[in-house]
Each structure stands twice: as C-alpha cells, then as structure tokens.
Structure 1
C-alpha cells in the first residue's frame, strides 16, 4: 500500500464538506485515472521520439530495446496509476477486492518484465537473421531454436516468481513437478520423443528451413517450411503439406540435396558396330567438348571412355559434374551437353545405335525358299486377269480323263 496519501488530497477528502465523502473519493479516483491516461500518452510519445532518433544510428540493438520497451512502459504507467487509484479507494472502502492490490501489483510487474524480455528476444531474432541488419546473418533454424529455448526459460521463471508472490512454496512446486514429471513422462513418451527429436534437429542441424530433403527409408521428400518442437512441416513438390513428427528423424536416414556441391551427369551412349572406326575420334572430341564447356566443373571427376561391346551397340561412358546445383539450370546444361554429343557423332557419319537383331539362316533353307519364291513370281507374271488357264499341276486333266473312261464303259 502507499505509505501516505498526499496530505493535501487526504485533507481535501476528509474536510471538504461541499460534496459527500463518496463523491470526493470518486473525484480523486477519476483524477488519478485521467492523470494516468495523460502520463501514459506522454510516455508513449517520448519513447516513440527516442526510438525514431535512434533509428538513424547504425546500432540495431538500441532500436530493438526501445521498440520492445515502448508498450510495456505505457502499460507500467497504467498499472501504477490504477494501483494508486485503487489504494485511495481502499482507504475509504471495505470492499474485499481492494485487499489484493499489492499482490496484483507484484504480478503486474513480473508480467511487464516478461513481456519486455519476450519482445526483445523477438527483435533480436529478427536482427540476427536479417541480411539488411547483419553483415553475416546467422542461420535462422539455430537462432529460432535459441529463441524458443530462451522464451521457455523466461516464462517458467516468471511462473515460479508469480507462484512465490501468491504465497505458494517454490520448493513444494518443484517437488511436485519432479514426481509428476515421472508420471507425465510415461504417459506422454511419444510427445517427449518428438520434443527431444526437435532438440536433436536444432543441435545437429541436418537440415534447416528452406532446405530440400528426402528420406530413402520413408516417403518423405520436399522443402522444409517449419521446424517445431513436435512437428516438422515439409512442403512436397505437389504443394501438399507433410507433417512429420520429429522423432522420425532420429530413426531414419535423411538426404539433404540442398547442400550438394555439384550435380552429376552420368550417361551411357551407344553407337553402331559399323562405326567402330570412328570410336576413338568420337570419344576424344566428346572429352574435349566437356573440358571446354563453361558449365562443367573441371575440378571434379570427368570420364569419357569406350565402355563395352554391348548386344547391339558400342557403349561410351559419360561421367561429369556441373557447376550449378539448381534443378532447372542443371537440366538445361545437361540438354546442351547431350545435343553437342549428338552433333559430334553425326559429324563423323556415325549414328546413335538402337536395339537391333540379325537372324542367320542355314544355306539350304535359304536356297529352297529363294527357288519357291522365284517360281511363284514367274507364275504370277505369266497369268493375266480374266484368263481361264488350267492349273499347272494337271489335277483337272486327270479328272476329265477318268470321267470319259467311265462314260465309254457305260455305253458299251
């Protein structure tokens, strides 16, 4: 409670008989609240002016501190003013609600302090990850993890202080929390597994927000959008959100293609057996083309060699790496390389092979087939449309002879 109400106000309330005591107390309370509003407005204006002045400097942390403190300062003025008004009312009122003024003031101070610290942590997170405010901005995932941990520590500490202000023993609360934590641990083991999985992700940093990840063990592939304490949000390439519990990442292998240094071109191209004479020059020209290509990384492995005699082609192995890791640009470079390889092959009169099969037949079968085909061709060429030529095999003549013989026998 206020130690002493200002004497002039106290004497006015007690001795001015023009109005009743209730009206006099009401006027004093109104004046205190109105004065609080005026002071809060002035305080907001002053802090805003100071904030605008410090925005002209190169130091971003003073801007963050002033921005974080602006609203809490105004709230502090209101808290103190309302507390004074409530204390004045408590002197002349027996209402039970005014008996908790001191407790509410203490809790209010704690809340304002926590609010200021949380706002400052948020501002610090934006500064540390902003390329406009930092020459070397920090990784967003790491800063976000530290920010979350800091906020959790501040909130837990504030809750314990508030409980102490309300008359609860912190030691008893901590003992209850230890016993209850065991029960909660057994009941919510999956939740705790996800929590510690998120902690491991923030600690090891196998990926961060914005990375493209995939898991060969699970059907997980896409861009990381958010890493929470329980779930990680992955946006798949068909634009659907995929929510993965953090515990999964402690049990599966995760690939991070976003961190690759190069992209690989690995192709096998075959030419015909008839072009074996051009093989050496084709291979040499392809290697020379790749060694002089501006989008091929010459510091990485480059292989162009005659690989093997395949079933229907002579295979050439192409193995090299591009400088770009961008998916779209990589395919543009690969297309350019393959088209240039095709031009080199065609430039020597060779052709890219495709699957073929040659059938070898015995000599006797081939001759008999050729003679039958020739006879059929001669017969077809000698026949004319509409002619009634007799068959060459003589079957019809034989039938007619047999018929004539039978008729002659019957007449006799």
Structure 2
C-alpha cells in the first residue's frame, strides 16, 4: 500500500508535461507533506474527541488506551508521510540516502509501538493506584514494581528486534550475554546485590512508599519516598534525604511503625508513703477513667496496679493503648490521660511524690542556732542539718 501511493502520485504528475521534472519532484514531496499534516491534525482531533466521549463510561481502560495512543498515532501518520515523500524523491533522484527508507520505516514502527505500550503502562499505573478512579486501588509500591518490570521487558524485547532488523544475530548476542554476564556479575556484585535487594523488597513488601520506617541496627528513620531497583530514598524527620542501598535491607532489622494498630501509654506514677490508705481508691478510679475514656482501646491490655515500694514513693503501674496511631494525636491523648490522673490523685487528698530524705536524730539531741560556744563553721553545719530535717519532715 505504501509503495502504490507514491507511484500513483508520480504517475499523475508525469501526465502534466507542462512542468519540468525537478518541479514535479518538489510538487510531489510538498503535496505528500501537506496531506500528511492535514491527516495528522484530523486524526489528533478525532482521537481527542473520542477520549472526551469515553470519559463518561465506566470502563477506564479505554480512557488509558486512547490517551496513550493519541501522540503515537499522529507520529505514525507523519512517519508514513515522510516515507512516501522519501520514496517519491528516490524514484526521481536515485540518491543513496533514500535506500534506507525501508529500514527507517521498520525502526520507526518499532519505536512507535514501544512508545504506545509504555504510555499504556504509565496510564494503567496511575489508574490502578488512584483512589479516585478505582474502588479498591492497588498498593502503589506493587503497581510501580510491576510497571518497571513490564517496561524492562518491552525495552529489552524492542532492542533485540531492532538488532535483528539491522542484521545482527540474536543467538550470538544472547550467547555473548551469557558469557559476559558472568564477568559482569563478578565485577558488579554490589550492583546486583542492590538489584536483588530491591526485588526482595517488592516481593516481601516490609514497607511501601509513604511508610514511616526505622532500623534498630542502623541510624535509619524516616518516611519512604521512593523504592528504586538500586536505592531506597527515605526522607528523615529533619527533612534530609537519606539514600539507602537496597542490599542493606537484607541484613538489618526494619521496624514499620506505620503498620502499628495502637500506640502504648506506659507510665509509672508515684504517690507519697503517707497516702498509702488512699492507694486502693486511687487505683480503682484511674482504671475506671481509662476504661471509659473515648480514646483508649478497651480491647487491648489495660493494667493499673500498685507496683512497688520505691525509695521515696509508692509506685502505680499504668499500662494501656490508645485507639489512634497518629503521632501528634497520640500525645494529645496522653496529655489528657496524665492530667486526669493528676486530678484523681488530688481529689483523694494525696500528692504525687518527689525524691525526699528524712533525717532521724536520737532523743536528747537538740539543734542549736550556733550563737554560743561554736564557731562560724559549726553554725553553718547545724543550720544545714536543720534545713535538711525540715524538708524531710515536710
């Protein structure tokens, strides 16, 4: 078909004997380029019109396909137009440069096919991971991994087809790749380790883009921004980018706080020894308050008990979980819980203990102000003991 179009146009122009041969060539090439431009413009408008019409349909794949195929279709029309124009010029001039028309047409068609497939994959990636387009969007990390794999397959296949079209033997290329791959593997073992580390991350999915992760083995903590085939980009909490080779995640432990179900409140409250009579009602009221709190998950472990006789306090263990996992809201809930516990202790006439010391003196020993019979140093020592005793009794 592509060979008949230039022939028909040339035959028509040859019938016009009024024009010299050079002008007939120029007119033929100009006519083909002009027709190509008009057809490309019309095709672009038609596909754009169809794209707008199918947006109202429930099927999203037709939207993705039309959006991905519009520009490659226009480029395909231009490819055919330029090919026909070059064929027309070759029939007149017989120039060596036009002998590559068929090869350029095949390579251009392969390039346009790859462009179209990559566009469809990109549109599908956006569509499958967008909550506004599908009811159950797929995990963005999984979609990205699959799309990268499909792109790699398409590009490698296209390269092999192009090499075959140019006259190279694919079997020889594959054999060379098998032998050379061993040498490359030894030379680039770290690169391959990172590649397979990225593959393991995509397979096991210990974290995904947007998760907050940290490692107790390394100084790694932040939000995952991108999972590549060689590096994982993490944004630390001070907004610095941290680039971690994927191979590191195969040898270290990784925590994923983003997947926690609750956040824990674990505190130890101490009251004074003189308030021991109030221990039971204080513990009961704190437990009741936590059980009725709107932000405390009563399906999780809740412990409020007298824990131990400490050096200067009677300790109460408070152990519970919040419903929220959001960092900022968790601290707001924790503040509210601690303030309510303080109000409960105060309501029972007790006080929260702080480190104190009581000094007991044998009977018959009196503290003197040091105004008689003693030096200045003795007065200061007695005053210090008196002050310490006063604070201890208080």
TM-score by length of 2: 0.91
CA contact (8 A) 1:225 1:233 kept: yes
Deviation at 1:12, TM superposition (A): 4.3
2:346 is paired with a residue of what secondary structure?
Answer: helix
Aligned residue pair count = 374
Q: Are the structure 2 counterparts of residues 294 and 271 from structure 1 closer, same or farther at C-alpha, using a change threshold of 3 Å?
A: same
Change (3 A) 1:375 1:182: same
Match of 1:19 in 2: 19
1:209 partnered with 2:209? yes
- Aligned partner of 1:144 in structure 2 is 144
- Counterpart CA distance in 2 for 1:16 and 1:37 is 25
1:326-369 deviations in Å (ceiling 9; x for gaps): 001100110111001101111111100001112233446x24x5
Preserved contact between residue 83 and residue 105 of structure 1 (Cα < 8 Å): yes
Range moving further from structure 2, 245-254 or 354-363? 354-363
Question: What residue number does 1:66 align with?
Answer: 66
Give the distance between the partners of 1:28 and 1:322, measured in 2 at CA: 79
Distance 1:8 1:347 in 2: 103
Contact 1:13–1:21, Cα closer than 8 Å, also in 2: no
CA distance in 2, matches of 1:376, 1:279: 49
Equivalent in the alignment of 1:380: none
In structure 1, the residue matched to 2:387 is none
State how far apart, in whole Å, the 1-side matches of 2:262 and 2:92 are: 80
Change (3 A) 1:118 1:78: same
Residue 177 of structure 1, CA deviation: 1.0
Task: Specify every segment of 5 or more residues in structure 1 that has no aligned partner in the other structure, as ranges.
Answer: 378-412
Aligned partner of residue 264 in structure 1, secondary structure: strand
Counterpart for residue 277 of structure 1: 277
Residue-by-residue CA offset, 1:26-52 (whole Å, 9 max, x unaligned) = 110111111110110011111111111
Cα distance in 1, alignment partners of residues 291 and 2 from structure 2: 86
- Are residue 341 (structure 1) and residue 348 (structure 2) matched? no
Instruction: Note the alpha carbon deviations across 1:218-277, whole angstroms, 9 max, x for none.
Output: 000011111111111111111111111111111110000000000000000000001011
The residue aligned with 1:268 is: 268
Question: C-alpha distance in 2, partners of 1:335/1:6?
Answer: 83
Q: Secondary structure at the match of 1:301?
A: coil
After superposition, where does 1:9-158 map in structure 2 within 5 Å?
9-14=9-14, 16-158=16-158
1:198 partnered with 2:198: yes
Distance in 2, matches of 1:241 and 1:47, equals: 42
CA distance in 2 between partners of 1:222 and 1:7 (Å): 66
Structure 2 unaligned segments of length 5 or more: list them.
375-394
Cα pair 1:269 1:316 within 8 Å, conserved: yes
Structure 1 residues 4 and 284 mapped into 2: Cα distance closer, same or farther (>3 Å)?
closer
| Conserved 8 A contact 1:2-1:87 | no
Rg: which structure is higher? Answer: 1
Aligned mates of 1:246, 1:76 — CA distance in 2: 40
Relative to structure 1, the CA distance from residue 316 to residue 121 in structure 2 (aligned partners, 3 Å threshold; closer, same or farther) is same
Map Cα deviations across residues 175-198 of structure 1 (whole Å, 9 max, x no partner): 111111111111111111111111
Shift of 1:4: 4.4
CA contact (8 A) 1:272 1:351 kept: yes
Is the contact between residue 10 and residue 88 of structure 2 (CA under 8 Å) also seen in structure 1?
A: no
CA distance in 1, matches of 2:370, 2:217: 63
CA RMSD of aligned residues (A): 1.7
Q: 1:214 to 1:6 in 2, by over 3 A?
A: closer
User: Residues 277 and 9 from structure 1, CA distance in 2 versus in 1: closer, same or farther, beyond 3 angstroms?
Assistant: closer
Residues 21/356 of structure 1: CA separation in 2 closer, same or farther (3 Å cut): same
Structure 1 length-normalised TM: 0.88
Residue 321 (structure 2) pairs with residue 316 (structure 1):
no
1:228 corresponds in structure 2 to 228
